[in-house]
Amino acid sequence: MAALCGLEALALLGAGGYLLVMGLLGRPDSPREAEAGGLTVIVLGLLPLLAVRGLLLRRSWSRGPAMIIQIMALPVAWTLLQSSGARIPFGIALAVVAVAGLVLLLHPTTTAALGIAPGARTPADD
């Protein structure tokens, strides 16, 4: 699960960087919107990195940010699927990753590993 979040973080950081550079160097219709959008996407890319760190350390709080990322990815995937051309494969890939991420985050093995399954013992219990 951490690997999926890590891939999403890299994709967001890359897309944000691209938007920012295009806003600064390119000729978009609205440079301010491109720059603001790029910074926003970069900041959003930090959320999956935070979730990755928490998941790798098996922190129970990390499931929340990871689930938010997957839920936010679903409308983006839907929008990409409604477009035409080269965006459709990206929409399919994003939808598959988001659904797989949600399934993995809700799986009993994951919840037990994170210490949030019913009856699960946490280090604080010892």
Closest CA to 113 of 105, 101, 103: 105
* pLDDT at 99 (0 to 100): 95
* pLDDT at 125 (0 to 100): 55
Per-residue confidence of the chain (126 residues) as pLDDT tens digits? 888 888 888 988 998 898 888 888 877 788 888 888 889 989 988 989 999 999 999 999 999 999 999 999 999 899 989 988 888 998 899 899 999 999 999 999 999 888 886 655 555 555
CA 117 – CA 121 distance, rounded (Å): 9
